[in-house]
Amino acid sequence: MRLASLARLDFLAPLDAVRSALYRALAPWLRGLYADRPRRVAWMGALSVGTSFALVLAAPLWVLALGPVLLGVPHLVADLRYLVVKPGLHRHFVPASLAAACLVAVGFGAPSVVGLFAMVPAVLAARADGWKKGLALGVWLVLSVCAWRDEYAFLLAFLHAHNLLALALWWRVRPRDGRAAVTVLLVLAGAAALLFGLGDGVIAALGGFSSPGTGTDFTELVASIAPDVEPTLALHLVLSFAFLQSVHYALWVRLIPEDARERPAPRTFRASLQALAQDFGRPLLALACLVALGIAVWGAFDLPGARWGYLRLATFHGYLELAAGAWLWLEGRRPALRPEVAR
């Protein structure tokens, strides 16, 4: 009976009951958001950006330490779901296999040029005009030359820049309206404010530069994320990175799934997990859950070690976002391909 209950995901029933009760209680004020997906997601986007900015001001070290440990694996699952599985990129066997081989090789320590090469089969397999493919291959060539000439500098630059890829992909998912543009502008404004040091006073007043319990010294973290950079600029780069990384996770874990879902109204936790299992299959989903749980437990005992362990696991995902994003752009597709927007 217990196995049957687990298969039906009945263990989520209490959470769905609480969720339904909250919806009923808040319905007089939020009824319009339930029915209007673009409006709801725009508010969620603004709230996510505002929360990320506030957390960075209050405890930037905790944001950098806990984000990858708690949200890293779910964000990787969303990467694969909306960039590969949903649009059917994995069905293009030969180019998908070549790209996957490059991504796996990077996970085992291959240089950046190998990860970037995943773009090539994706671009060549896309159905697009020749000039578009030429433009995409030109971008690949420029990036590859930069990585070949200075691997370390390229990796650091890519580490910072890839956080904006999710923002660009989310822009592809949503209808073009002012509400989406507001969220994008809030992200850019928040990153710029931190980059120009406008949050330093607040962070210092709140003690955010020394967060006990993270097992990480802020100076050491700055040296690892922005080495060989003038100290003040390095500090601001790290704060901006922490903010953009937090937004990056929010986009993949919450906003992109919300915009990509077939039905416009919110759905239950059980329905969400059933849809995820349908996309991936229960064995792969169970494996992802075990990995996520393992990293979280690891983090409870060794937070810095768990963070770096996740980052090593996730080495491939920036190149995946780049390659799959190029393919989707060339094909004129949206990352989710829900029925009303599919080509």
Whether 329 and 323 have beta carbons less than 8 Å apart is answered as no
How far is residue 114's CA from residue 122's CA, in Å, rounded to a whole number? 14
The shares of helix, strand and coil residues in the chain, as percent rounded to the nearest 5, are 80, 0, 20
- Do 31 and 80 lie in one domain? The reply is no
Q: Tell me, what's the pLDDT at 9?
A: 65
In a domain, 340, yes or no: no
* pLDDT over 80 at 44, yes or no: yes
- Do 162 and 179 lie in one domain? The reply is yes
In a domain, 81, yes or no: yes
- Do 195 and 129 lie in one domain? The reply is yes
Whether 73 and 92 have beta carbons less than 8 Å apart is answered as no
Nearest alpha-carbon partner for 75 in 282, 290, 249, 318: 249
Q: Tell me, what's the pLDDT at 342?
A: 36
How far is residue 165's CA from residue 187's CA, in Å, rounded to a whole number? 12
Mean of the pLDDT values across residues 52-68? 92
- Do 92 and 162 lie in one domain? The reply is yes
What is the number of structural domains in the chain? Answer: 2
- Do 18 and 79 lie in one domain? The reply is no
Mean of the pLDDT values across residues 181-192? 92
- Do 148 and 24 lie in one domain? The reply is no
Q: Tell me, what's the pLDDT at 333?
A: 61
**Residue matched to tokens 């996510």:** 48
Q: What DSSP designation does 213 have?
A: T
In a domain, 342, yes or no: no
Q: Tell me, what's the pLDDT at 340?
A: 37
Structure tokens at 180: 């989406």
Whether 41 and 260 have beta carbons less than 8 Å apart is answered as no
How far is residue 136's CA from residue 113's CA, in Å, rounded to a whole number? 15
- Do 144 and 201 lie in one domain? The reply is yes
Phi-psi region of 109 (alpha: psi -120 to 50; beta: other; left: phi over 0): left
- Do 325 and 301 lie in one domain? The reply is yes
How far is residue 224's CA from residue 35's CA, in Å, rounded to a whole number? 45
* pLDDT over 50 at 63, yes or no: yes
Q: Tell me, what's the pLDDT at 221?
A: 76
Percentage with pLDDT > 90 across the chain: 41
Q: Tell me, what's the pLDDT at 175?
A: 62
* pLDDT over 50 at 3, yes or no: no
C-alpha atoms less than 13 angstroms from C-alpha of 251 in its C-beta half-sphere: 27
Whether 112 and 146 have beta carbons less than 8 Å apart is answered as no
Q: What DSSP designation does 10 have?
A: G
- Do 116 and 153 lie in one domain? The reply is yes
Instruction: Domain of residue 14: give its range.
Output: 1-35
* pLDDT over 90 at 143, yes or no: yes
- Do 114 and 41 lie in one domain? The reply is yes
- Do 13 and 119 lie in one domain? The reply is no
